[in-house]
């Protein structure tokens, strides 16, 4: 297919999504922003995606939490465990590229939404199952949540002050990374299916994502017996200085990830002798003498305000930044310059402002649709996409395809 001028990158992709809460919807959000048609299947027995009911800023079946993860998508209410609902699901599979879900690891098999179950319906379908622990292994039937995974995968042991309790990240990073990994798996699977004429399963898990993100501390541990430890003020485990520093009126972050930055920092502090001091001459020496160096830097940084230091260090070419709160982060001129806030219009909440997707492929979308109301796209999906007539829809409704018959 030759893309037409103005087409979004994934405009020729259709995904059927049995998704809920954060991880799955976060992954498909980026696909939707890139133009993919995401058709959310919402369970009538639970009132749809549980994210609709997350407080605060929630009313009836709408919430700002749900808006966060579901812009540019469509919604249909469907009971996929009901025989009539299954018929509708399979009709959707016939005209789609991927079956995407985020459920417990044993559920995709039970719901028959794996490639083995769907290949007779559409041999090119890509079945992406984002689960807590994967579809194999001793934990596959356990529910997986970000907080639990951050503890289980070792993240919390690396986060926080050395003398404090283990801590989780302030954001649900396992969920979000898992969603991104699932989205990458999905587009890769569709590419292969179109090339080879055969679909597949993509068995993605939050556990896998969390373990994978351990990166170099894990390699150090697995190969050299390194024991990861927490350092004061969120300091890097081996690069010094690279951490928070107190100033006369607050905190700043300074990072010397290259020797040239250390040389520049010593000059900016008006302490050029530090750069040639044998205790601090290179990465290894500074790490060995971390406590001595940080004490010297602490005393120096306390002599000026944070703004004064940031101006001085930026001019010197030293990586640095303020410790913003959320309000300050969105007020930063660079946030506006990068177009990192998008707007949708909602009948209950009015104009909803939210973070843009960081995934950039060509020009960003000129506009966005709000998240769908529960079942809002039934006419489009059933009548427009599948070509069902009123009689067929009424028969399905009476059979319980969309929940208990009315």
Q: Which residues are catalytic?
A: 236
98-137 burial: b if 16+ Cβ within 10 Å, else e: bbbbbbbbebbeebebbbebbbeebebbbbbbbbbbbbee
Query: How far apart (Å, rounded) are the C-alpha atoms in residues 35 and 12?
Result: 8
Q: Which pair of tokens denotes residue 403?
A: 């929940």
- Taking phi over 0 as left and psi of -120 to 50 as alpha, with beta for the rest, 258 belongs to beta
**At residue 272, what are phi and psi to the nearest 5 degrees?**
-60, -20
Q: Which pair of tokens denotes residue 161?
A: 């002050």
Query: How far apart (Å, rounded) are the C-alpha atoms in residues 397 and 394?
Result: 5
Instruction: Give bridge partners of residue 252 from the DSSP assignment.
Output: 245, 322
CA atoms within a 13 Å half-sphere pointing along the CA-CB vector of 146: 17
CA atoms within a 13 Å half-sphere pointing along the CA-CB vector of 149: 29
- Taking phi over 0 as left and psi of -120 to 50 as alpha, with beta for the rest, 270 belongs to left
Contacts (Cβ under 8 Å, ≥6 apart) of 6: none
Query: How far apart (Å, rounded) are the C-alpha atoms in residues 167 and 289?
Result: 27
């Amino acid at each position: 297919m030759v893309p037409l001028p103005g087409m979004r990158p994934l405009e020729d992709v259709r995904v059927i999504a049995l998704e809920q809460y954060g991880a799955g919807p976060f992954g498909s959000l980026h696909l939707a922003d890139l133009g993919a048609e995401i058709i959310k299947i919402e369970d009538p027995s639970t009132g749809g995606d549980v994210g609709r009911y997350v407080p605060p800023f929630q009313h009836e079946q709408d919430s700002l939490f749900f808006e966060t993860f579901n812009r540019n998508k469509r919604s249909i209410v469907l009971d996929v465990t009901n025989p009539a609902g299954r018929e509708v699901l399979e009709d959707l599979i016939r005209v789609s590229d991927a079956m995407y879900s985020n459920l417990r690891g044993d559920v995709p098999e039970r719901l028959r939404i794996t490639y083995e179950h769907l290949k007779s319906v559409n041999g090119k379908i890509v079945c992406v199952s984002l689960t807590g622990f994967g579809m194999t292994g001793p934990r596959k039937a356990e529910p997986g949540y970000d907080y639990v995974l951050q503890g289980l995968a070792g993240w919390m042991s690396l986060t926080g002050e050395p003398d404090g309790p283990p801590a989780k990240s302030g954001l649900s990073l396992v969920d979000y990374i898992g969603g991104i990994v699932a989205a990458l798996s999905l587009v890769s699977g569709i590419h292969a299916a179109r090339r080879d004429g055969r679909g597949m399963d993509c068995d993605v898990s939050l556990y896998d994502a969390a373990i994978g993100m351990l990166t170099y501390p894990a390699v150090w541990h697995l190969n050299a017996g390194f024991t990861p430890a927490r350092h004061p003020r969120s300091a890097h485990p081996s690069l010094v200085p690279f951490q928070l520093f107190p100033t006369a009126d607050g905190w700043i972050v300074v990072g010397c990830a290259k020797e040239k930055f250390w040389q520049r920092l010593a000059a900016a502090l008006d302490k050029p002798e530090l750069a040639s001091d044998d205790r601090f001459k290179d990465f290894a020496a500074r790490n060995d003498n971390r406590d001595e160096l940080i004490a010297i830097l602490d005393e120096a940084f306390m002599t000026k305000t944070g703004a004064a230091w940031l101006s001085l260090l930026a001019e010197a070419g030293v990586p640095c930044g303020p410790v913003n709160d959320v309000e300050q982060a969105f007020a930063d001129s660079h946030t506006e310059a990068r177009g990192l806030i998008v707007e949708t219009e909602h009948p209950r909440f009015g104009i909803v402002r939210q973070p843009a997707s960081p995934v950039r492929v060509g020009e960003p979308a000129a506009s966005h649709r709000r998240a769908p109301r529960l079942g809002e796209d039934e006419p489009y999906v059933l009548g427009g996409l599948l070509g069902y007539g009123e009689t067929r829809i009424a028969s399905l409704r009476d059979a319980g395809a969309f929940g208990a018959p009315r």
